[in-house]
Amino acid sequence: SSLHKPTNTSITLLLMSTLKISDGVVKDEVLVLGLASTNSKGGIAIEAGDMAIDTKTILSQLVDMGATGKADEVTKLPGSHVRLLVFTGLGKKSANYTHETLRRAAGSASRALAGNSAATFSLPAKNLAEVAAVAEGAALGAYSFTEFRGSTKDDHKAPLKTITVHSKLAASSEAKAAVVRAAVIAKYTYLVRDLINTPPSHLTPDSFTKKLAAVVKSAGGAKSGLKIQIWDEKQLKTQGFGGIIGVGQGSANPPRLLHISYTPKGKAAKRYAFVGKGITFDTGGLALKPAAGMEAMKSDMSGAAAVSAAVIAIAELKLNVAIESWAPLAENMPSDTATRPSDIITIFGGKTVEVLNPDAEGRLVLADGLMKAQSSKNKLDGIIDVATLTGAQVIALGTRTSAVMTNNQEFSNDFLQVAAQCGEQFWPMPLPEELRASLDSPVADLANIGDRMGGMLVAGLFLKDFVNPELPWLHLDIAGPAYNEAKPHGYTPVGGTGIALRSLVTLA
Ligand code: BES
Ligand code: MN
Ligand code: ZN
């Protein structure tokens, strides 16, 4: 499909111009194959999938190059039939590589191929689900963010434009559907990453809504079952969104609430609400964060980006589920108009909160979002919030594993299974009742901070106060995994990762 350029915005959905499956002769100049390690003494084996390869001379060249076949190792050799042979590490040789192993190996290779225009991937994928994993990984690895480069733009090699997955299953209609799905997943993951990487100078609550409105339009708008609604600061104030107003009132860039809904053509099998934290920059407000590392807080709208992109992706895939996404958007700034510690705000629906720490702002905008999402007349089957909510999440689970908290074990188990299937690492965390008392306030219905120990769980317990106990609910804390400040790996670049998008779409 074509390059998307929504009108009047600066967001570009960079989609590889082609993603396809073929069982024919390799026409590209670049061929990507797998490489596995066979023993601890440096033994290696080429894993070429459905491609017949004369491996003898190549193997000795790979040994000379020091290739070991470990994950994230990419070795390039000049080819004879093709210009370049690229070997991507699969780790230990196996009869059954996991989807995630294939996804990451394909992603590492496509990252390493920036500057080339087209490549054919032939990895050990035996069935369609494995072929789909290769396609998805290759597409997700072909990402770059150069929008704000000026004089150094040309120093950066463009990502792969055409990705072909070689498989003897190419002829089936299911193969075509798998490629369409991989392309949609990649396109909307790119959107999430672009939004996260865009700095607060260029991404405000208002411009976030405008960019998404343009994407909804380019995805077909009402024709595709998509509807969009935006609340400005005046409407938020008169309609009682005290959380969003309280967090946003210190900033010159006023807050917004963005609602995107998708209604399928037939009768929807289920209806879910997604609510994403949309802090376009989190300075901590009057509880100002230290300067070191504050720049990463441009990623504090990752939840809002994930839920907004997910609902559009779900519409583009024409899935038979109704989705209502909500993105409460605000910039958390310190100023003479900012919320002060001890201020009391009223969340949508009437509960009051004593703001003891204006840096615990995510839960305030989410409380408004959760309450509004549950006030709609349509009966929900489940509600999921997604947020870069706590530093405690990163302390507990590290930078690559997100947390799931819930009021419904079955919903959580289903989600965890789906997340594992699409290669997103999530882990269940409890909501211990005894921690709730630490959120009691002497003057309001509750306070916005409680015990420091178990801070991720305390934040989850705060949100639980704003969810109907009968409604299955998941709280996803993606604070660490949303933004990669370390090295790129597999299909994951530096910066915005796009985490949660795939799980939400796959769940739907
Ligand atoms: N946006 C931060 C959480 C965060 C931290 C996300 C690190 C990504 C990386 C959130 O708004 C925050 O500041 N949370 C506070 C809560 C505390 C004041 C109870 C925190 O975790 O320190
Ligand atoms: Mn904060
Ligand atoms: Zn925050």
pLDDT tens-digit profile of 130-175?
Answer: 999 999 999 999 999 999 999 998 889 999 999 999 999 988 889 8
Specify the residue for token string 């590290």.
Answer: 398
Segment 315-327 mean pLDDT: 98
Output the pLDDT for position 141: 98
- Beta bridge partners of residue 263, listed in sequence order: none
- Is residue 87 within 8 Å of 62, Cβ to Cβ? yes
pTM, two decimal places: 0.96
Distance from C-alpha of 329 to C-alpha of 57, rounded to nearest angstrom: 58
Residue type at position 210 = K
Compute how many other C-beta atoms are within 10 angstroms of the C-beta atom of residue 233.
Answer: 20
Q: How far is the CA of 281 from the centre of ligand 3 (A)?
A: 8
Residues with Cβ within 5 Å of ion ligand 3? 279, 282, 300, 362
Q: Is the pLDDT of residue 8 over 80?
A: no
- CB contact at 8 A, 71 and 91: yes
Checking if the pLDDT of 3 tops 60, the result is no
Which position among 20, 126, 161, 289 bears the catalytic label? 289
Q: What is the mean pLDDT of the chain?
A: 94
pLDDT at 18 over 50: yes
| Buried/exposed code over 379-401 (b: 16+ C-beta within 10 A; e: otherwise) | ebebbbbbbbbbebbbebbeeeb
Distance 11 CA to ligand 2 centre (A): 26
* pLDDT over 90 (residue 222): yes
Among protein residues, the one whose CA lies closest to atom 22 of ligand 1: 391
Catalytic site includes residue 289: yes
C-alpha to C-alpha distance for 20 and 135, rounded to whole angstroms: 8
Which segments of 69-222 are extended strands (E)? 74-78, 84-92, 118-122, 162-166
Measure Cα distances from 82 to 67, 134, 426, 494 in Å.
Answer: 20, 20, 40, 30
Query: Is residue 256 helix, strand or coil?
Result: strand
Specify the pLDDT at position 81. 84
E strand intervals along 126-266:
162-166, 226-231, 256-262
β pairing state of 162-166 and 18-22: parallel
Among residues 93, 111, 271, 363, the one annotated as catalytic is: 363
| 390 Cα nearest atom in ligand 1 | 21
- Burial of 57: CB neighbours in 10 Å, binned 0-12, 13-18, 19+: exposed
What's the 391 CA to ligand 3 centre distance in angstroms? Answer: 9
- CA geometry: angle at 30 spanning 28 and 32, to 5°? 115
Measured in whole angstroms, the distance separating CA 162 from the mean position of its chain's CA atoms is: 23
Distance between CA atoms of residues 25 and 37, nearest Å: 28
Check residue 12 and give its pLDDT.
Answer: 28
DSSP assignment of 396-407 equals: HH-SS-EEEEES
CA distance 112 to 90: 15
CA of 335 to the centre of ligand 2 (A): 15
Cα–Cα distance measured from residue 366 to residue 302, given in angstroms and rounded to the nearest whole number: 13
Ligand 1: which of 281, 289, 390 to mutate, judged by most atoms within 8 Å of the beta carbon?
Answer: 390
Within its chain, how far is the Cα of 361 from the centroid?
A: 21
Residues within 5 Å of ion ligand 2, judged at the Cβ atom: 282, 359, 361
Q: Are 368 and 277 in contact (CB under 8 A)?
A: no
Ligand nearest to the CA of 459: 1
- Return the ligand 1 atom nearest residue 448 CA: 19
Q: Which residues contact 271 (CB under 8 A, 6 or more apart)?
A: 321, 322, 323, 324, 378, 379, 380, 381
- C-alpha 358 to ligand 3 mean position (Å): 10
Give the count of alpha carbons within 13 A of 361, CB side only: 36
Instruction: State the maximum Cα–Cα separation within the chain, in Å, rounded to a whole number.
Output: 77
> Which two three-digit tokens encode residue 355?
């703001």
Residues touching ligand 1 (Cβ under 6 Å) are: 282, 300, 357, 359-362, 388-392, 394, 449, 455, 479
Q: Is 297 helix (H, G, I), strand (E, B) or coil?
A: helix
For 38-87, write each residue's pLDDT tens digit. Answer: 998 889 999 999 888 888 889 999 999 999 999 999 999 999 889 999 99
Q: Give the sign of the dihedral formed by CA 43, CA 49, CA 54, CA 57.
A: negative
Query: Looking at residue 15, what is its pLDDT?
Result: 43
Q: What is d(CA 32, CA 54) in angstroms, rounded to the nearest whole number? A: 15
Confidence band (pLDDT; 50, 70, 90) for 376? confident
Check if the beta carbon of residue 275 is closer than 8 Å to that of residue 200. Answer: no
Asked if residue 214 has pLDDT above 50, the reply is yes
Residue nearest to atom 5 of ligand 1 (CA): 391
How does strand 44-47 pair with strand 30-37? antiparallel
**173, 375, 160: which is closest to 275 by C-alpha?**
375
